[in-house]
Amino acid sequence: MIISIANQKGGVAKSTTAINLSAGLALAGYKVLLLDADPQANTTRVFIHPEIEIALEKSLHNVLIQFSPIASIIQQTRFDNLYLVPSHIRLSSADLELANVIDNRSERLKRALKRTKDEYDYIIIDNPPSLGLLTINSFVASDKLIIPVSTGFFALTGLVQLQETIDMVRQTQLNPQLDILGVLCTFGDHTNVAKDVEKQLRDYFGNSVFETVIPRNVSLEEAHSNHTHVFDHAPLIDRQNL
């Protein structure tokens, strides 16, 4: 199953969700491929040392633009069952490069994953904060979407455009089966704004909003700076609060 974590807003915990969902599934014994489709490469940096990252010769850019086989760029992480398709700052030109392509520019990732798909129980895609061709490629390749929404004041802006993009991918037959697995409330706290936004999301999306709310918790950020996931960094907090 291929799950995209997407929202064109930055800072809503897409990467955090992608990293920790992948890690949680890997800990549960599933074989997981975490695919970093964001040119900012934040997720890649959690698992790969910055010096190694600069030296990386190949990234998703090569797959999308030069048709390199995806198997040739998959990196093993130091965690069991968890593999990574690294991003690279070079990927930032991919949206423009793909825009000049006429043939199947939205289906490159889907095609690249065709064989690899069966080798993993889950492929989790971390997406860039935009609705450009990188994100469209992810939507076309994915079975399911998880939409993290931070429960802050501007949380709801942009969700209409996101919905329109999802509808476009479905209606143009690029991926008629694309399904929203759920909307995930992130940065939950006890403020009135957070509670109000959560209520508005539940009114609008109904049952599609996950019951679980991810609380604001500094351990999530600390885990990243320690190059690990939250289950490794704060196992007790994981059980008590998350």
Question: What does the binding site for Mg ion look like in residue numbers (CB under 5 A)?
Answer: 14-15, 42
Give the residue among 94, 106, 87, 100 at the shortest CA–CA distance from 45: 87
Q: Of residues 124-183, which lie at the interface with ligand ADP (CB under 6 A)?
A: 129
Give the residue among 124, 153, 157, 151 at the shortest CA–CA distance from 215: 151
Q: CA neighbours within 13 Å on the CB side: how many for 235?
A: 2
Of the candidates 45, 88, 110, 216, which one interacts with ligand ADP according to CB under 6 A? 216
Whichever of 14 and 233 has its CB closer to ligand ADP, that residue is 14
Contact 162, 138 (CB under 8 A): no
Whichever of 137 and 148 has its CB closer to ligand ADP, that residue is 148
Give the residue among 36, 82, 43 at the shortest CA–CA distance from 61: 36
The window from 9-17, 54-62, 161-169, 230-238 that contacts ligand ADP (CB under 6 A) reads 9-17
Contact between 81 and ligand ADP per CB under 6 A: no
Q: How far is the CB of 238 from ligand ADP (least distance, A)?
A: 12
The window from 11-19, 56-64, 131-139, 192-200 that contacts ligand ADP (CB under 6 A) reads 11-19
The region, left, alpha or beta by phi > 0 then psi within -120 to 50, assigned to residue 209 is beta
Contact pattern from residue 182 through residue 201 relative to ligand ADP, giving x for each residue in contact according to CB under 6 A and a dash for the rest: ----xx--------------
Contact between 22 and ligand ADP per CB under 6 A: no
Residues that contact ligand ADP, how many (by CB under 6 A):
18
Alpha-carbon distance of 163 to 145, in angstroms, equals 11
Contact 170, 176 (CB under 8 A): yes
Q: How far is the CB of 104 from Mg ion (least distance, A)?
A: 26
Structure tokens at 142: 């994915």
- Name the residue whose CB lies closest to Mg ion: 15
Per DSSP, helices labelled H in the chain are: 14-27, 42-47, 50-55, 60-66, 94-99, 108-113, 133-141, 159-171, 192-205, 218-225, 230-233, 235-241
Of the candidates 72, 221, 235, 241, which one interacts with ligand ADP according to CB under 6 A? 221
Hey, is 153 helix, strand or coil?
Answer: coil
Whichever of 13 and 174 has its CB closer to ligand ADP, that residue is 13
Q: How many CB atoms lie within 10 A of CB 105?
A: 15
Whichever of 129 and 188 has its CB closer to Mg ion, that residue is 129
Contact between 224 and ligand ADP per CB under 6 A: yes
Contact pattern from residue 93 through residue 132 relative to ligand ADP, giving x for each residue in contact according to CB under 6 A and a dash for the rest: ------------------------------------x---
